[in-house]
A and B are shown apart, each in its own frame.
Chain A
Amino acid sequence: MNWSDTTSSGRPVDELIEPYLDGALSPDDRQRVLTAAAEDREFARQLAVARSIREALHSMPSVVAPPDLVPSVMRVARKDRRKQLLASIEERFRSITTSGLRPALATATLVAVIVAAGLFGRPAQPTVSPEAQAALDQIKWTLALVSEVTERSTTHIRRDVLEPHVVGHMQTVAHDVFEDPRAGSKLN
């Protein structure tokens, strides 16, 4: 058989070398390749060269990315994520306090619970920073006090008075949460 011959499917046998190495030939075509290799030294050489190329390509030395590639990208991504989350918390707090204090308290409480869950929901984590813990405590006590006062009296606390004690402290808490890579994943 001349390896420039065609197979029953009309393809030159030469064209079958790559599909043969892919294991993608019908049994008939596969046999034609083997027959051509057995009968024609030139074809056999071509087949051997093709096989060596495949093996060499697959055994090219693998490349390892620089060790700081992903960490540097993740630093930027986490910082961006923290900024977005804080912006949305502040926006929500501001928009709701204009319509009344109770919804604002509910929202701030919810946010504090979420942040606290992110802090305390981490298994076997080291303790949070004293600053973050103090900030979280301040939020909780402020909300509890305001809730109690509002329940017992008709006194309303102005938003500009309340805000620093909730949103301001939230930033300290969230900074601690998001700067710790182990915590950030809990608050996606």
Chain B
Amino acid sequence: MTLSEYESLITRNQNRVYGYALRLIGDRDQAKDVVQDAMLRMWKHRDRLEVDGAISWLLRVTHNACIDQLRRRQLETKIFHGDVETDQLGTGEWSPARVTESRDMMDNLKQAIDTLGEPHRSIVLLREVEDFSYEEICGALDLPMSTVKVYLHRARRRLRKTLEEVMQRELV
């Protein structure tokens, strides 16, 4: 990968990669640090990377770094606000009861995404929010295509059930 190919790739994808990191970690400075480190690691390994597969590699490094960050502050929880300020580590213990009621669909959805465990949450963020391709997601999470699609299907169903329960509570 040449210098100009590298620059073109990171420029083109910076918003989506940073957006993914920010939505996982919930902290702007930490997300920036994670993405910068991942980009520089990609530069160091550029001789081993094909341009086509480089974005998956970058996503994988970013994803792993974000998960490490979240594990470090596993006990810390915050509440989502309008812009993505905070996050909580999805522990895999799916519980619609953890979603506080709000009249705002977006607030409910953000909280519902939060209740998903990994890798379901990452798959939803990468596919539905940041619009990465299935191939890029498979490379990033090191999962076969069929597994990614199954997880996405399950995650969507969980989101639906979570939001239905929240709406039911609001009606009561």
> Do residues B163 and A53 form an inter-chain contact, with CB atoms below 8 A?
yes
* Residue from B2, B156, B164 in contact with A18 in the complex, judged by beta carbons closer than 8 Å: B156
Task: Determine whether the beta carbon of B3 is less than 8 Å from that of A188.
Answer: yes
Q: Which residue in A18, A62, A64, A73 is a CB contact (below 8 Å) of B43?
A: A73
Q: Is B109 an interface residue (CB 8 A)?
A: yes
Tell which of A50, A58, A72, A73 has the most Cβ of chain B within 10 Å.
A73
The answer to whether B109 and A77 touch across the interface, beta carbons within 8 angstroms, is: no
A70 to B11, Cβ gap below 8 A? yes
User: Cβ of A64 and Cβ of B15 under 8 Å apart?
Assistant: yes
- Most B CB atoms within 10 A — which of A17, A57, A188? A57
- B18 touching A65 by the CB < 8 A rule? yes
Assembled-state Cα–Cα distance A62/B156 (Å): 20
Cβ-defined contact, A80 with B43, below 8 A:
yes
Contact of A149 with B by CB under 8 A: no
Chain A positions within 8 Å of B3 at CB level: 77-78, 81, 184-185, 188
Interface pair A58/B160, CB less than 8 Å apart: no
Q: Are A54 and B128 in contact (CB under 8 A)?
A: yes
Q: Give CA–CA (A53, B157) in the complex, Å.
A: 10
- Name B's interface SS: helix
For residue B106, CB closer than 8 A to chain A, the reply is yes
> In whole angstroms, how far apart are the Cα atoms of A64 and B35 in the complex?
13
Could you say which interface size class chain A belongs to? 20 to 34
CB distance B129 to A18 under 8 Å?
no
Given known A-B contacts A62-B15, A63-B23, A73 and B40 have beta carbons under 8 A apart = yes
Cross-chain contact of B159 among A53, A61, A81, A188 (Cβ < 8 A): A53
8 A Cβ contacts from A73-101 to B: 73-74, 76-78, 80-81
A contact face: mostly helix, strand, loop, or mixed = helix
Per-residue CB contact flags for chain A residues 148-159 toward chain B (1 = under 8 Å, else 0) read: 000000000000
Judged by a CB distance under 8 angstroms, whether B105 is at the interface is yes
Q: Which residue of B lies closest to A77 (CB)?
A: B43
Within 8 Å by CB of B160, from A46, A63, A64, A81, lies: A46
Check if B153 is an interface residue, CB within 8 A of chain A: yes
Q: Could you tell me if A72 and B36 are in contact, using CB atoms closer than 8 angstroms? A: yes
Would you call B14 and A69 a contact (CB within 8 A)?
Answer: yes
- CA A6 – CA B80 in complex, angstroms? 39
Q: Does A161 contact B (CB under 8 A)?
A: no
Contact across chains for B128 and A185 when beta carbons are under 8 A apart: no
Residue of chain A at shortest CB distance from B32: A66
Interface contact B4-A53, CB-CB below 8 Å:
no
Q: Answer yes or no: A2 CB below 8 A from chain B CBs.
A: no
* A-B complex: 5 closest residue pairs judged by Cβ atoms: A63-B19, A188-B2, A65-B18, A57-B128, A65-B14
- Name 17 A/B residue pairs within 8 A (Cβ), A-sorted: A17-B160, A46-B164, A52-B105, A53-B156, A53-B160, A56-B105, A57-B128, A62-B15, A66-B18, A66-B32, A69-B35, A69-B36, A73-B36, A77-B6, A78-B3, A80-B43, A188-B4
- Residues on B close to A: CB < 8 A? 2-4, 6-7, 10-11, 14-15, 17-19, 22-23, 28, 32, 35-36, 39-40, 43, 83-84, 105-106, 109, 124, 128-129, 153, 156-157, 159-160, 163-164, 167
